[in-house]
Amino acid sequence: MLCQECKEKKATVHVTSIINGKKTELYLCEECAQKKGEWGFAAEPLSLHNFISGFLGGLEPGIKPKTELPGISRCEKCGLTFEEFAQKGRFGCQECYEAFSSQLPAILKKVHGREEYRGKIPRRTGGVLRKKREIEDLRKAMEKSVKEEDFEKAAEIRDKIRELEKELEG
Amino acid sequence: MSLDKKIKKSQSEWMKGKGPMGDVVISTRLRLARNLADFPFPGRAEPGDLKEVRNRVEKVLEKLNYGLKILDLKEIPQLERKTLVERHLMSMNHAEDGPEKVLAVDEFEMISIMINEEDHMRIQVLFPGMQLEDGLRLINEIDDAIEEELVIAFNEKFGYLTSCPTNVGTGLRASVMVHLPGLKLAGRLGQTLQLISRLGMVVRGMYGEGSESQGDIFQISNQVTLGASEGETVENMVGIISKVVEQERQARQYLLKNREDEIRDQVQRAYGLLSHAYRMNTEEALGLLSDLKLGIELDLIKEVEPSILSQLMVLIRPAMLQRIMGQELESGLRDVKRAELIRKKLSGGESHVR
Ligand SMILES: [Zn+2]
Ligand SMILES: [Zn+2]
């Protein structure tokens, strides 16, 4: 049997992937298996970009991807078009996330099941978000103090919140 | 250099040690995808951009206290690059020719950082056994240190911005490699794997063609990077994998209690073949090594070190084998040399007392 990926070498590897309960089977040569990252862990979980392309109509023959939708056309910084993104499943630069932002939440929700970021915040570029989260935490602490009738502490926290809010506006 | 020495020199730290839950968990890997804010992602960058990215990242890495050695992949022969892939230090993709590709790696081969792969940086840590929490701690520390010096692509809505939408958010992929021969022999493997995959994990395994009996090694990794924090992702995985480990241990005890003769026979046959065969391909070797490892963990075989599977599953790979043997080998000869290497390892080339 020939490798289903390169269709040149003999398939020596039988790969079974299970994602969300769906099983896919592949017969690959050693090299392609490694390339696909099915061996060892040099790899990503099954790439979803084909799926994204399919979602956007990029791969279906005869069907043009919907690049004419308002608000999505081309990233001005790197020049990537939405069509190219749909085909390759890769962004060109960080500005692409802005350029295609009208379509992204739907795509990311399909990929991840959720669309809201909840992870770590870098100190440099994440300053605003860091402050917002801090304010959120302080608000909770303030409510707690009020409930415990520790008004002095609540007032202290309120001042801190105001300070942070000022910094945010400035 | 003697063969013994060459074997020793070819082992990463994670292959030698038995980590937590080492009876079932082979290794833990975490990686973060990161990009510099001011440059296009590598897939769309000009060579000049990539050079600048490389210079900036290298300069930062040199300042860190992890003793990272910086390898310019252009200067490294193809076969040697493949050994880095086989040792799980970088991706196959990164071994291919391309502009300004770099790998930074520490002397224990625990930390490795790819520069200009699909993202500007792929930071990886690799530990023996089950060490997701420690892994997260270390990789966060490295990430923080890098972020002190570089402006990283990030936005509030989507988190860390990556080339592929499957990585955006935390950019974190955590993978745990597990060895599940007991569940397979007890006929409960399929059901367990299905369950794991329904819990938001990706399970991948590899078998020899036409049979499910080779290797019994699976990778379990998180599927999503958006919607859960790094801590939640890891916590969730710890819960799931602990369950898998528990199930595997139960299956092994069940087998020992109810099918001891059969298991003993299978294990000792594997040991016999591995110790005496003259030729062996990778698939057969992995299947037998899996049986042998099961025997060691069930205390049916006492004179072989438990890390034999972690070591040999890497050392018998084609590029590693050729590196250890110090020559290029065509595949027929490789099978002979592979068997020689395995025999050497099992015959007490090093001390094997547990
Ligand atoms: Zn192939
Ligand atoms: Zn762009």
B349 in reach of chain A (CB within 8 A): no
Contacting residues of A for B173, CB less than 8 Å apart: 44-45
Q: Which of A38, A39, A122 sits opposite B154 (nearest CB)?
A: A122
Three state DSSP letters for chain B? CCHHHHHHHCCCHHHHCCCCCCCCEEEEEEEEEECECCCCCHHHCCHHHHHHHHHHHHHHHHHCCCCCEEEEHHHCCHHHHHHHHHCCCCCHHHHCCCCCCEEEECCCCCEEEEECCCCCEEEEEEEECCCHHHHHHHHHHHHHHHHHHCCECEECCCEECCCCCCCCECCEEEEEEEECHHHHHCCCHHHHHHHHHHCCEEEEEEEECCCCCCCCEEEEEECCCCCCCHHHHHHHHHHHHHHHHHHHHHHHHHHHHHCHHHHHHHHHHHHHHHHHCCCCCHHHHHHHHHHHHHHHHCCCCCCCCCCHHHHHHHHCCHHHHHHHHCCCCCHHHHHHHHHHHHHHHHCCCCCCCC
Separation of CA A34 and ligand 1 centre (Å): 9
Separation of CA A79 and ligand 2 centre (Å): 6
Contacting residues of A for B86, CB less than 8 Å apart: 40
pLDDT at A26: 73
pLDDT at A66: 46
pLDDT at B301: 95
Annotate B280-318 with b (16+ C-beta within 10 A) or e (fewer): bbbbbbbbbbbbbbbbbbbebbeebbebbbbbbbbbbbb
pLDDT per residue, tens digit, chain B (354 aa), is: 677 787 777 788 888 877 999 999 999 999 999 999 999 999 999 999 999 999 999 999 999 989 999 999 999 999 999 999 989 999 888 999 999 999 999 999 999 999 999 999 999 999 999 999 999 999 999 999 999 999 999 988 899 999 999 899 999 999 999 999 999 999 888 888 888 888 888 887 643 233 344 588 988 999 889 999 999 999 999 999 999 999 999 999 999 999 999 999 999 999 999 999 999 998 899 999 999 999 999 999 999 999 999 999 999 999 999 999 988 898 889 999 999 999 999 987 544 333
Which residue's structure tokens are 């081969």?
B109
pLDDT at A16: 65
Question: pTM to 2 decimals?
Answer: 0.81
A-B CB pairs within 8 A amount to 206
**Ligand nearest A38 Cα, by number?**
1
**Ligand nearest A12 Cα, by number?**
1
Separation of CA B334 and ligand 1 centre (Å): 19
B155 in reach of chain A (CB within 8 A): yes
Residues 187-226 of chain B whose Cβ lies under 8 A from any Cβ of chain A: 193-194, 197-198, 200, 202-211, 219, 221, 223-226
pLDDT at B353: 37
Q: What is the ipTM of this complex?
A: 0.85
pLDDT at A106: 84
At B66, list the tokens.
């992890």
pLDDT at B55: 97
CB atoms within 10 A of CB B111: 21
Annotate B124-159 with b (16+ C-beta within 10 A) or e (fewer): bbbbbbbbbeebbebbbebbeebbeebebbbbebbb
Give residue-wise pLDDT tens across range A7-63. 887 776 666 665 555 666 777 776 776 666 543 333 333 344 444 544 444 433 334
Tell me which residue of B220, B242, B13, B293 sits closest to B127, measured CA to CA.
B13
Angle ∠(B347,B351,B354) on CA atoms, nearest 5: 105
Contacting residues of B for A87, CB less than 8 Å apart: none
B283 in reach of chain A (CB within 8 A): yes
Of the pLDDT bands very low, low, confident and very high (cuts 50, 70, 90), residue A135 is confident
Which residue's structure tokens are 């911005």?
B161
Inspect the interface and report whether the beta carbons of B161 and A91 lie closer than 8 Å. yes
Q: How far is B263 from chain A (nearest CA, A)?
A: 25
Give residue-wise pLDDT tens across range A89-123. 899 999 999 998 888 888 888 888 888 898 998 87
Residues 132-161 of chain A whose Cβ lies under 8 A from any Cβ of chain B: 132
State which H helix or E strand residue A54 sits in. helix A49-56
B141 in reach of chain A (CB within 8 A): no
Q: Which residue of B has its CA nearest to A32?
A: B92
Inspect the interface and report whether the beta carbons of B155 and A119 lie closer than 8 Å. no
Which residue's structure tokens are 């020049």?
A79
